[in-house]
A and B are shown apart, each in its own frame.
Chain A
C-alpha cells in the first residue's frame, strides 16, 4: 500500500482557494481556508460548503439486500422507506462499535451505506463477510462518488437556485436522485453540523463543476468554503458523536448512550445481538459512565483524553473538546460516572495540564437550531 495521501477530485481547487491541508484518515483534506471561527459562524448563520469525498460509500443490492444489512448492522433496515435515510451502527460480535453509519435506501432493493473515512475499509470487509449467506451484492463505491455538503440556514435557497428537484418535499434524513447544476446527483438532506443542509453525492468528474456552481449560487447569501476544523466544532456543539472519540470498539452503543439505535425487535439474528442484550441489561441495572456536556467557567480548552475530576478523584474522561464559537467558551463532551453526570452537578473540573479548571455539567447538545 502506498503511504502517499489520497487526494479528492477537488484537491486542486482547494489549493487554489488557499486551503490549509491536513492528513485525515489517509486523505489530504482541507482543514480550513481562512479562519475556522469565521467558517463555523458562516454555517450557523448563512451557509458553508464542504468537501467530504473521503467518506466511504458501500452499495448493497439484490433481493436480500435488506436482510443482509439487517444481519450486518444493529438498526432495523426493514423500516427504512424508499428515499429515506437512517443513522445506525455496525458492531462487533462482542457489541463493540465498529463504526456509525448512515444507510440510504435508494431503490426497492438498493441501499447505500456511508461509513467514516478511517473505517471505510473495515466496514466494507465486515459487510461483505456478513452478507455472504444472502442473495445480495456488496459493492465498493468509495471511488464512485465525490461528496459535497452545503450546510446552514441559507442552504435550501442556494441549492434550490441550481436544481429543479423538489427540496420542499425532501424531509430531513431523506434522499432523492436529481440534477444539480447540470450534473446527476443523489441529493440527501443530511449533515453533521446541527444545521439544515444537504449532502450531494456525485461522480468525481462532476465535483468541480458542482462546487463552482454552488459557490456562485451562494455568493450573495454569504456561502464560504469550510474545512474539517469547523466541521468538528459544529458537530461538537450539536452533540454529535465522532468515531474514535465518543465511539470506539471498546464501547457498546449502550455505553455510548446510544442504545436506542439497537433494534432487538427486528426479524432475524444480527451480529452482536447476544452481547448487546447483556449490555442493555447491564446499562439498565447499573448505569455506566454517561456522555455529558461540559462548559468551561474559564478559558482553557479541554482536549480528548483529559481527566474529569471531582473532589480530587478522577470521575471521567474528555472525549472531545474545543472552544465553542457559538457559546464563546470552551466546551467538551466527556464520559462521566453516573453520580456526577446530572446537569447542574457542582464541583466538577477538568485537569488541564495539572490545573483543575471548573466546568459546568450540562445536557447535550450544546446547540440546537431554531426550526
Chain B
C-alpha cells in the first residue's frame, strides 16, 4: 500500500493534510484500516469541539474490535464527514479520500508527525 506523499502521519496511524486557510483534514491510514478490518461504526468529534493532539476524539468500531480515534493536532473541529458516519465502510475502501474523518482549524501541532516515507517504514 502506498501512503500519499503530500500528507503527514501520526504514530497512531492518522493522516493530516496540509492546511488550506488554516484548516487540515484528518483520516486514518490504509494500514490502520486494514488492521481494523471492516469498519462498521464511526463516532466523530462534533463541529465546534476542541480536539487535542494525541488525545482521543472519537471511536472506530470494526467487526471485531473498537479503537479510539486520536487527533494528530490541536484545534477546533470545523467539519465532520457525515458520509463516513452513514457508510463507515468508506474508511476501508477510500481511507485517503472519501473516508476522511474530520476537518480541524489547527492551533497547534506536535513536532513529531512523520513524512510518508517515515510512516511507511514505521508501519511496516
Contacts and interface: CB of A to CB of B under 8 A. Distances in A.
A-B complex is real: yes
Contacts of A229: 37, 63-64
Contact of A323 (B34, B40, B92): B40
Interface residues of A, number: 16
B92 A35 contact: yes
A19 interface: no
Contacts of A233: 63
A84 interface: no
Interface size classification for chain B: 10 to 19
A17 to B, nearest CB: 15
A32 B37 CA distance: 9
Nearest to A300: B41
Given A229-B63, A322-B63, A37 B41 contact: no
B1 to A, nearest CB: 12
Interface in B52-82: 61, 63-64, 66
Interface of B: 34, 37-38, 40-41, 61, 63-64, 66, 89, 92
A60 B66 CA distance: 43
Contacts of B40: 299, 301, 323, 330
B41 A35 contact: no
A36 interface: yes
A329 to B, nearest CB: 10
Contacts of A37: 38, 63, 89
Interface string A30-69: 0110011100000000000000000000000000000000
B58 to A, nearest CB: 12
Interface of A is mostly: mixed
Contacts of B63: 36-37, 229, 233, 322-323
B38 to A, nearest CB: 5
A358 B89 CA distance: 23
Contacts of A32: 37
Contacts of B92: 35
A33 to B, nearest CB: 12
Contacts of A36: 37-38, 63-64
A303 B40 CA distance: 14
Given A37-B63, A229-B63, A322-B63, A299 B37 contact: no
Contacts of A299: 40-41
Nearest to A322: B63
Interface string A271-308: 00000000000000000000000000001110100000
A132 B41 CA distance: 53
A134 B49 CA distance: 71
A368 to B, nearest CB: 22
B39 to A, nearest CB: 10
Question: Which 6 pairs across A and B sit closest by C-beta, in order of nearness?
Answer: A323-B40, A37-B38, A299-B41, A36-B63, A301-B61, A35-B38
A354 to B, nearest CB: 12
